[in-house]
Amino acid sequence: MKLVIAIIQPYKLEEVKEELYKSEINLITVSEVLGHGRQMGVTEVYRGAKETGNLLRKMRLEIAVNDNYLEPAIKAIVKGAKTGETGDGKIFVLELKECVRIRTEERGPVAIG
Amino acid sequence: MVNAGDTAWVLMSSALVLLMTPALAFFYGGMVRRKNVLSVLMQCFIIVCVLSIQWVVIGYSLSFAPSKGFWGGLQWLGLNGVGLEPYADYAGTIPHQAFMVFQMMFAIITPALIIGAFAERMKFSAFLVFTLLWATFVYDPLCHWVWGMGGWLRNIGALDFAGGTVVHINAGIAALVTAIVLGKRSNLDKNVPTPHNMPFVVLGTALLWFGWFGFNAGSALAANGLAVNAFVVTNTAAAAAGLSWALIEWLRNGKPTIFGVCSGAVAGLVAITPAAGFVSVIPAIIIGMLVSVFCFIAVTVIKPLFGYDDSLDAFGVHCVGGIWGALATGLFASRLVNSAGADGLFFGNPKQFLVQLAAVGVTIVYTSVVTLIIYKLVDLFIGVRVDEKSEAMGLDLTQHHERAYTVLE
């Protein structure tokens, strides 16, 4: 079991979701986050006071997958989120120790799907 | 003779109409995505600044100085000769400058209405140039034709009490041209934008409704029975239209929405605008009930059918509602309400309906052609649309270096 965490451009969310659905990955958690990588932030100006390097809005996706779904998930996220410009985001893959479906108390790979 | 009561009412009405532009800012601002809300508020506020100046320097003269020409005369440039005594041809009981400042507020809100069509994708610099040119070459001449002394639509007897033609059809048709010229917002098919702050839409609607009493009842230019009639039918039509839109949604979509009630109320206010000083209360209910039907069809059937991206339905509500209001004036106008007006079709005067139709036709043709020319010119020199990356990041950050909502603190 793996936990996939992806940071993407907010306006790419719909396309990423669409690609994930095509790969039969339907269970995702999305949160709104702030951050910046190489793209750096934008300069904001409030009554003449500059604030440089401000953080940009990004979307963070968390997807728990069984091992055979890992590559399809990565491919789907890349396909949906890639523009080729800086700021497209990153994908992190973590080992997932355990997964419990609260409703049934099932554990392990069967609880993920 | 200056009448104190009339002057007080017209000054108060001017302030009410001024408030409608910031109200529109919230009405529209709530409908856009949150990355663009400041850009809409900014566009509305800067229009207040730009056109307040344009109006006192050239706009009022080009619109209202007596002339039989394309524009009004030039004799009132810089308010030269526009003083504190009444100018009886427009309003005999209030200072001429009170009439001027009341009309200023209409000149301000009209171009602001067009924002609904280009929201979320127009370059700020291009928007400023466009607005100034549009006010001078579209609003001012049309205003002169309909309301100015010597204006030819006024002379053929077209009735427009508070600006159905000059304000709403005019801005609404310009909005349609805008939506077509600018093209759709990007990613529209994949990422259907939803209003980011519905309470703003409601707040904006409430303030528009409030301000509209100045718009319509103030257009009597006196604190008299006619103003009261306009006040009553304005409220009635807005109420009927808000109710009607909610009922249509209930029947068609299963649930009534607050967005629907707000859209309907604004459509009702638009439709009653040209008629407010000429119709009585029962026609106002009919005008209000029906305008929601027409506007609902415009925004839910016609817009998707033709595929233009009139982002916030400036055409669908203001042009469609305005046309219905102008034609309804030709149907329901009655001299029993306003002896200085005319009878409509249902009161035995079919000719009035044709005159109204002619005024609508002239507005649509003139405004769409000149608006298109202005866009092409501005696009040539400045470029009307922001680049794709800026559009994706939002106009607040890319055009103004500000954001509306912080996430951390």
Mean per-residue pLDDT for B365-383?
96
Mean pLDDT of A84-93: 91
CB contact under 8 A, B407 and A46: no
Residue A70: how many CB atoms within 10 A of its CB? 15
Q: How far is A25 from chain B (nearest CA, A)?
A: 18
Q: In this model, does residue A50 exceed pLDDT 90? A: no
- A57 touches B at CB < 8 Å: yes
- For the cut 70, the answer to whether the pLDDT of residue B409 exceeds it is no
Q: Phi/psi at A109 (nearest 5 deg)?
A: -50, -35
B388 touches chain A (CB under 8 A): no
Q: What is the pLDDT of residue A46?
A: 78
Task: Compute the distance between CA of residue B341 and CA of residue B193 in angstroms, rounded to an integer.
Answer: 45
Q: Which of B392, B403, B408 sits opposite A44 (nearest CB)?
A: B403
Which token pair is B96? 């001429």
Domain spans in chain B, listed from the N-terminal domain onward: 4-400
Interchain CB distance below 8 Å, A18 and B190: yes
Domains and CATH numbers, chain A: 2-112 (3.30.70.120)
User: In which band, very low, low, confident or very high, does the pLDDT at A48 lie, cut at 50, 70 and 90?
Assistant: confident
Report the pLDDT averaged over residues A38-47: 73
pLDDT higher than threshold 80 for residue A39 = no
Task: Say if the Cβ atoms of A85 and B401 lie within 8 Å.
Answer: no
Three-state secondary-structure class, residue B87: strand
Pair B290, B235: CB distance under 8 Å: no
Q: How far is B373 from chain A (nearest CA, A)?
A: 33
Token duo for residue B381: 């020199």
Does B407 contact A32 at a Cβ distance shorter than 8 Å?
Answer: yes
Does the pLDDT of residue A34 top 90, yes or no?
Answer: no
Interchain contact, A9 vs B408, CB within 8 Å: no
Residue type, B292: S
Q: Which chain B residue lies closest to A44 (C-alpha atoms)?
A: B401
pLDDT digits (tens, 9 = 90+) for B91-114: 999 999 999 999 999 999 999 999
Fold of the domain spanning B4-400: Ammonium transporter fold (1.10.3430)
pLDDT category at B45 given cuts 50, 70, 90 is: very high
* pLDDT 10s digits, B320-343: 999 999 999 999 999 888 888 888
Tell me the C-alpha distance between B200 and B206, whole Å.
10
Distance from CA of B230 to the nearest CA of A (A): 43
Q: Residue A55: pLDDT band by 50, 70, 90 thresholds?
A: confident
Task: State the best of B32, B400, B407, B409 to mutate against chain A, taking most chain A CBs within 10 Å.
Answer: B407
Pairwise CA distance, residues A84 & B354, whole Å:
59
Q: What is the pLDDT of residue A41?
A: 67
Q: What is the pLDDT of residue B187?
A: 76
Confidence band of A53 (pLDDT split at 50, 70, 90): low
Asked if B393 lies within 8 A of A42 by C-beta distance, the reply is yes
Contacts of B397 in chain A (CB under 8 A): 42, 44
| pLDDT per position as a tens digit, B212-241 | 999 999 999 999 999 999 999 999 999 999
Which residue among B187, B398, B402 sits closest to A11, beta carbon to beta carbon? B187
Where helices occur in B336-404 by DSSP H, the ranges are: 350-381, 388-393, 395-400
Q: What percent of chain A has pLDDT over 90?
A: 61
- Is the pLDDT at B297 greater than 80? The verdict is yes
DSSP state of A107: B
User: Which region, left, alpha or beta, applies to residue B183 given φ > 0 means left and ψ of -120 to 50 means alpha?
Assistant: left
Q: Quote the minimal CA–CA distance from A72 to chain B in Å.
A: 21
B169-182 tens-digit pLDDT:
999 999 999 999 99
Size of interface A-B (CB pairs under 8 A): 30
Note the pLDDT of residue A57. 84
Q: Does the beta-carbon distance from B389 to A85 stay under 8 Å?
A: yes
Instruction: Name the residue of chain B whose CA is nearest to A45's CA.
Output: B401
Measured between beta carbons, the chain B residues lying within 8 angstroms of A13 are: 191
